[in-house]
Amino acid sequence: MLKKIYNILEITEDKNKLAKIIDWLLISLIVLNVVSVIVSSFNNLSATAEKILNGFEIVSVIIFTIEYVLRLMTSKYKYENSRFPYFRYMFSFLAIIDLFAILPFYLPLIIPFDLRFLRMLRLFRLFRIFKLNRYNDAMQVIGKVLKNEKEKLFTTIFVMTILIIFSSSIMYYVENTAQPDKFPNIVASVWWAVATLTTVGYGDVYPITALGKILSGIIAILGIGLVALPTGIISSGFISEVTNKNNKKICPHCGNVI
């Protein structure tokens, strides 16, 4: 019985009609949940609309909970060579997303929270959109690219962090005397550094001294190249992953990739 449930829930090439129907139902439910979160952000909803949204939330949580429990119970078939298949599944990326999708509903029932914290917890319902990763090849490819290029991306982010701190520190010492309200400390100056390095330039905080303007121009130029690095790494990895995927051939006899 559990084996049949596993075959229905997991993505396979030879899925039966029931499995495909369940997949589409879950995809539709995920999309409707995202729409529900967006609609619930409006303040002028009627009492009837709020009841409908609350009822839909309860039904969704029940379905997602059943799905999570079934995937946990059948994880031994997915991780057949693992000594602890249940724990391996629980700490996998998609399982964590599944848990975050239902946890905000149960936590207030177990532990009484402040109402403001409750509103923050409700934002976690948006994690349900990541459940589409199971049914979307493009999202899976992006996930593989981020995993394969994580060392390069980490190096780039590390360098960017150093440059942000360095830029914030310099601008604080240069502009603090002239603009103590705009650059009161290094931490506050980080906002200017991020806006400048990413070339966003909101214009709410900017240097007014001659030296500050010169340094700001240099930092902005450095930011153009630095921000482009992660984009280039991800683009290159994405192209390589798509190319490798298209070049894979399936053996007509054994069905394995050759």
Instruction: Give 125-139 pLDDT, tens digit per residue.
Output: 666 777 776 666 666
pLDDT band at 255 (very low <50, low <70, confident <90, very high): very low
More confident residue, 120 or 53: 53
Q: Hey, what domains does the chain have and what are their CATH numbers?
A: 2-135 (1.20.120.350), 150-247 (1.10.287.70)
Q: Which residues contact 98 (CB under 8 A, 6 or more apart)?
A: 64, 67, 68, 71, 131
| 108/114 Cα distance (integer angstroms) | 9
> What integer pLDDT is reported at residue 223 of this predicted model?
84
DSSP secondary structure, 166-189, as one string? HHHHHHHHHHTTT-TTTSSSHHHH
More confident residue, 240 or 169: 169
> What integer pLDDT is reported at residue 165 of this predicted model?
92
More confident residue, 84 or 207: 207
Does residue 169 have a pLDDT over 90? Answer: yes
Average pLDDT, integer, range 213-232: 86
Per the CB < 8 A criterion, the answer to whether 231 and 134 are in contact is no
Per the CB < 8 A criterion, the answer to whether 53 and 36 are in contact is yes
In order of 4, 62, 80, 137, 144, the CA distances from 8 in angstroms are 6, 19, 17, 18, 24
What pTM did the predictor assign?
A: 0.62
Does residue 1 have a pLDDT over 70? Answer: yes
> Percentage of the chain surpassing pLDDT 90?
19
Q: What are the pLDDT digits (tens) for 15-64?
A: 678 888 888 888 888 888 888 888 887 888 888 998 998 899 899 989 98
> What integer pLDDT is reported at residue 120 of this predicted model?
59
Q: What count of Cα atoms within 13 Å lies in the side-chain half-sphere of residue 123?
A: 4
